[in-house]
Amino acid sequence: MQASGVQKKVVNKIKALNQLGLETKGLFISSANKEVNYPDLNIKVIPYQITNVPKIYSAPFFWRFHVYYENKIFYETIDVALQEEDFDLILFRYPIWYADFNFLRFMKKYHKKIVFEHNTIEIVEMQAYNREGFRQKYLLFNENKIAPKALKHAKGIVGVCGEITDYEAHRVNHKVESRTIANGFDVASVRVRTPPAYNKQELTILLSAGFAGKWHGVDRLIEGLHIYKGEVQVKLKIIGNVLNEIHPLIKKYHLEDKVEFLGNLDSEAAAVIFDECHIAASSMAMHRNGLQEASTLKTREYLSRGIPFFISNIDVDTENNESIAPYYLKIPGDDSPVNIEDVVSFAERVLQLENHPTEMRGFAESKVDFQLKMKQLKDFLEQLSSH
């Protein structure tokens, strides 16, 4: 089964919950032409297609409400699929961009059967896209006005950090039980890195970006490299994707020889790059999503591979934990350029700690491993289903 990053996360979640003794099936809504079953994964892929659109949605003015019809078909597709299943609860990744009157109708039908997982403060993320026109206004209005009414019919709320959980609980006046369960990472799926020697003359920083987004804050790092005047030569290696505007920014500042783009790499190829880099850059702009707190997979991979990092947000699992504090640097959570002098000083301190890769790996195994988080989720779901 080919899967996106989010889908892989869900596949692993289904597998882990079943291994923990909680019978779990997955329904994926897809643009595929036909239904596909993956019995070995306990997953069914359901086709979601917009066909036979009523003519009224192409008429003057009414074309604007095509989005309503799209969402109607979306929830009808889910409803039909659920009719064939036997379940106690539905664990539903919150449907950002789909929270309109159709959502409210769906939630009323499945009153106190759905537990939502929230990975962001939805309204802030939606506004960050800076889209124009009726469609954006329609979706933002519904997220503000209709979604809270729909969420009151939920059985439970799971947020990946306390800030998100508090926001969602407040939206329903704390009438729905909520729990913070941070993102986990399959620690055993990656090997501990072998760090390169550091001669205090050249420092190589790694950024594993994955999906391009403003929250990575790559521009902050480029701006910091531009104004940095220190003696240590600093270079940046980027795995994954960045926003299009980053490339002209690098060219503007003549940093082409300082920044290397490696594209998407598999785990083993990435491991080679981790061995070549001294420290890493985690998320540097989660504030652009309205968050000062997060539990990103990037940070969890760095912990698992054993590479020290700098980060702008509070992390659910590392904050106020003295055992991991020496291995990361907290930078301001704003749009200011990254202070490369501070980063270099941090690198010189942390790279003197010879056992830092194994110490970080041990922390990851005890605090952020995927199985630990799935045990927390299982306990919460069983608690909810018991009353």
Concatenated DSSP letters of 61-119? TGGGGHHHHHHHHHHHHHHHHHHT---S-EEEE--TT--SHHHHHHHHHTTTTEEEEE-
Question: Is the same domain home to 161 and 252?
Answer: no
Higher pLDDT, 243 or 343: 343
pLDDT tens-digit series, residues 55-67: 777 777 777 788 8
Claim to verify: residue 338 and residue 380 sit in the same structural domain: no
The whole-angstrom separation of Cα 42 and Cα 352 is 47
For residue 114, the model assigns a pLDDT of 98
Closest CA to 300 of 349, 237, 381, 372: 372
Confidence grade of residue 210 (pLDDT, cut at 50, 70, 90): confident
Type and span of the H or E element at 36? strand 36-38
Report residue 295 as tokens.
Answer: 């539990």
pTM here is: 0.88
Residues 194 and 162 in one domain: no
Confidence of residue 5 (pLDDT cuts 50, 70, 90): low
Task: Identify whether residues 222 and 174 lie together within a single domain.
Answer: no
The end-to-end CA distance of the chain, in Å, is 36
Higher pLDDT: 114 or 42? It is 114
- Look at residue 128 in the predicted model and tell me its pLDDT: 78
Helix (H, G, I), strand (E, B) or coil at 52: coil
pLDDT at 51: 79
The C-alpha atoms of residue 65 and residue 352 are separated, in whole angstroms, by 61
Output the domain CATH number for residue 36: 3.40.50.2000
Contact 121, 143 (CB under 8 A): no
Do 218 and 305 fall into the same domain?
A: yes
Helix (H/G/I), strand (E/B), else coil: 179 = strand
| Structure tokens given for 133 | 């026109």
Counting the structural domains of the chain, the total is 2
Contacts of 269 (CB under 8 A, 6+ apart): none
Residue 158, pLDDT score: 98
Residues 289 and 162 in one domain: no
For the cut 70, the answer to whether the pLDDT of residue 1 exceeds it is no
Check residue 193 and report its DSSP letter.
P
Instruction: Say if residue 133 is in the same domain as residue 252.
Output: no
Residues 180 and 327 in one domain: no
Taking the C-alpha atoms of residue 271 and residue 266, their distance in angstroms, rounded to an integer, is: 9
User: Are residues 163 and 220 located together in one domain of the fold?
Assistant: no
Residue 4 scores a pLDDT above 70 = no
What is the span of the domain harbouring residue 219?
187-368
Short-list 13, 10, 290, 24, CA closest to 168: 290
What is the predicted pLDDT for the residue at 39? 86
Could you tell me whether strands 233-240 and 259-263 are parallel, antiparallel, or unpaired per DSSP bridges? parallel
d(CA 352, CA 355): 9
Q: Tell whether the model's pLDDT for residue 344 goes beyond 70.
A: yes
pLDDT in tens, 257-305: 999 999 999 889 999 999 999 999 999 999 998 899 999 999 999 999 9
- What percent of the chain is predicted at pLDDT more than 70? 98
Position 64 scores a pLDDT of 76
Residues 151 and 74 in one domain: yes
Selection from 32-36, 71-75, 103-107 with the highest mean pLDDT: 103-107
Q: In this structure, is the dihedral angle defined by the CA atoms of residues 322, 328, 330 and 334, taken in order, positive or negative?
A: negative
DSSP 3-state of 326: helix
- Shared domain check, 359 and 259: yes
Alpha carbon distance 237, 258 (integer Å) = 8
87 shares a domain with 26? yes
* Contact yes or no for 317/182 (Cβ under 8 A): yes
